[in-house]
Structure 1
C-alpha cells in the first residue's frame, strides 16, 4: 500500500495542500470547521504527521552532516549506505566528512559543516568514541547523534553494536548443537571489538560449565600466512575442534581454506563426516567454491541507521538527553 501523503489528505478534505499544511503547523486563520475536516481526513486515511521531521526541515537546510573518523572500515562503509538511505526517506541529503576523533579535529569539522548550513550532525566512529567529545558537539548548537561500532565511556546516548551479546548468541548456538570444542579466530590482540566477542565467547562456556580448555582463541595479524599456520596447527593438535567462530569474512575464508586443506569438509555434520562448522560474526556471501552453508550474525545496521535519524529528529523537541541503545544482530542459521 502506498504511503499516505499530505496531497491525499488535501483531496479527501477538499481543501488545498497549503491549507492542510497550515492546519498541521497550527498557523494562519483556519476555521474550526475546516480544521475538523482536515483532522477527520487524516484519521480516515491513517496519515501521521511527523512533527520532528517537519521541524528539522524548517531549519537552515535539508542537509545532514555525517562525520566519520574513517571510511575504510567495513562497518563505516555499510552504515554510511544505510544512513544515506534513511535520510533520503525523510527528505534529507547527506554531506560526508572524515576526521580524527580529537577535540581539535572535531571542532574544525563541525565548524566546516556549520558554514554549509547543515541542519544536524551524525557522528560515526568505526571503533569507540570518547565521551569527552560531547562538549564539542554541544557547542555547535545543532542537533546531533553519535554512533559507534564499539562502546565508549561517558556517552549515555550512544547508539552502538552489542558485540558481546552477539558472541554469546553464536557460541550458545554452537554449544547447543554439540560443538563443545571450538575456535574463535581472526581478530587482532588489541582490537576492542574482538575483545568484546572474546568475552562473550568465554562467558558462554562459563555459564554452561564447560572447561575453558575447550575454548580456543587464536589472534590474527597482518601476516596471512602466519594466521593460517596458527589455525592449522590448532586443528591438527586437537581433532575434537568441530567449529570455528570467525571475526570477519576474511577470517572465514581463511578458516574454510584451512579446514579443506587438512582434508576435512566444511559443514554441520561433524559427528558422522568430521566436518568443521565455519561461522562468522558478519554476513558472508561465499566462502569458497562449493562452500556456502554457514551461520552468521547479521549486523543490525539498517535498524541502527533508522534509530539514529529518528533520535536526531527528536533532539529538536526534546531538551533532556535521549537514551542510547545497544543493538544486537540476528543469528542467520
Structure 2
C-alpha cells in the first residue's frame, strides 16, 4: 500500500519548513507570493491533498505564542515571562515557555520545535551565539517574532527589538554615587565583550570620563557567587574602591552578602547600587539601591505590541526603549562617620 503524502513531504520538496507549508494551507498573508507558489507546486508534485476537516481538529495551536527565555533562574527574566504570559492569557492566547539556559544550540532547537508545532508568534530573550541558527528559520517561515532585553539579530525589520534605556540607568547610578561623595567607583559584573555588558556599562563609563575619573571594571558572571567573590577581591586587593555599580542585582546581592561576612558596612564604608530592581532588593538588609526597570509593565507592553502585530497587522517599531529610574535605598546612602 502506497504511503499517503504528508505535509513533511511537501516541505522537503519545496525546501521550506513545515510551518511555512501550514501557513500556505491557511492562505496566510505572512508568506511571500513566490514562496506560496513554490509550496503549491510541491503539493501537486507529491500528490498531497489537504484534509481541512482533520486540520480543524488539530487547530489547538491557533493562538499559541512561544516564549523562549535565556535564563529563567534569574528573577528578572522570570518576572518578564510571567507578565507576558498573563497579558496574553487575558486576551485569550496560550503561551508555551521554554528556558534556553544561555545555550544557543538549545535555543535553536526550541525555536525550531515551536515553529514545527505551528506557534502563531515568538517572543525571545536570546542567548548569545550563532543568531542565524535561531532567527534564520523564523524569518524564512514568516513567523512574527520579537527579540527582547538583548539584541543578537541585526535584521530588526524582520525581528524588532525592545529593551530598556540601560545607558541612562548606568548614568543615574554613577552620578548618584558621586553625589554621595564616592571617590573611586567600580563597575562589577557582566561577561567581557558581551553587548549587554557594554550597554549597561556605557553610562558608567560616560560619567567617569566626564568627571576625569579612572574607570575600574571587574568583569564576571552575573551571579551572586561572583558578587560575593568580588567583595573579597575589592576589600583585600583594592581597598581604595569605595563604591560600585553592579551589572545586575544578583551581583549586587552577592556583594552585599560578602561585605556582611567581612564586616564592611554599606553606606558608611562602601556604597552599592544594583541594576534591575528585582523584588528582593527591598527585602534584604540593608535594602539595596537599584536601577529600576519596570519589567512587569515592559512585559505587558511586549504582549500588546505582539497582539497588535497579529490582530491588526501593525508591525512593532524596529527598536523600543523603556525608561528607567534609580530607586535609592540605604545601601548607597552615605552615613556620616562618627
Q: TM-score, normalised by structure 1?
A: 0.64
- Asked whether the 8 Å contact 1:187–1:219 carries over to 2, the reply is yes
For these two proteins, the number of residue pairs brought into alignment is 261
Aligned to 1:19: none
1:332 is displaced (CA, Å) by 0.9
SS at match of 1:80: helix
Please say if 1:211 is aligned against 2:213. Answer: yes
- Asked whether the 8 Å contact 1:311–1:322 carries over to 2, the reply is no
Please say if 1:180 is aligned against 2:186. Answer: no
Distance in 1, Cα, partners of 2:74 & 2:286: 24
Aligned to 1:315: 309
1:158 is displaced (CA, Å) by 0.7
Q: CA separation of 1:265/1:288 partners in 2, compared to 1, >3 Å: closer, same or farther?
A: farther
Q: Tell me which moved more, 156-165 or 285-294.
A: 285-294
- Asked whether the 8 Å contact 1:151–1:161 carries over to 2, the reply is no
Aligned to 1:229: 232
- Asked whether the 8 Å contact 2:243–2:270 carries over to 1, the reply is yes
- Asked whether the 8 Å contact 1:129–1:148 carries over to 2, the reply is no
1:94 is displaced (CA, Å) by 0.9
Q: Structure 2 residue aligned with 1:329, among 320, 324, 328?
A: 324
- Structure 1 segment 268-283 matched on structure 2, within 5 A: 274-283=268-277
SS at match of 1:206: helix
Aligned to 1:153: 154
SS at match of 1:281: strand
Deviation sequence 1:210-241 (CA, Å, 0-9, x none): 322xx3222335875753432212442x1xx3
- Asked whether the 8 Å contact 1:70–1:125 carries over to 2, the reply is no
Distance in 2, Cα, partners of 1:185 & 1:170: 13
Deviation sequence 1:168-202 (CA, Å, 0-9, x none): 22112222333232122233334443332222211
Please say if 1:304 is aligned against 2:298. Answer: yes
- Asked whether the 8 Å contact 1:82–1:302 carries over to 2, the reply is yes
Q: TM-score, normalised by structure 2?
A: 0.63
1:266 is displaced (CA, Å) by 1.4
Aligned to 2:41: none
Aligned to 1:93: 94
Aligned to 2:112: 108
Distance in 2, Cα, partners of 1:235 & 1:327: 35
- Asked whether the 8 Å contact 1:244–1:277 carries over to 2, the reply is yes
- Asked whether the 8 Å contact 2:156–2:318 carries over to 1, the reply is no
Aligned to 2:287: 293
Distance in 2, Cα, partners of 1:60 & 1:264: 55
SS at match of 1:187: coil
Query: Please, what is the CA RMSD of the aligned residues?
Result: 3.6
Distance in 1, Cα, partners of 2:262 & 2:92: 54
Distance in 1, Cα, partners of 2:180 & 2:132: 41
Aligned to 1:247: 247
Aligned to 1:36: none
Distance in 2, Cα, partners of 1:131 & 1:78: 27
Q: CA separation of 1:307/1:151 partners in 2, compared to 1, >3 Å: closer, same or farther?
A: farther
Distance in 2, Cα, partners of 1:146 & 1:250: 23
Deviation sequence 1:249-287 (CA, Å, 0-9, x none): 3422342344445554212xxxxxx43222111325567
Distance in 1, Cα, partners of 2:264 & 2:321: 38
Please say if 1:170 is aligned against 2:173. Answer: yes
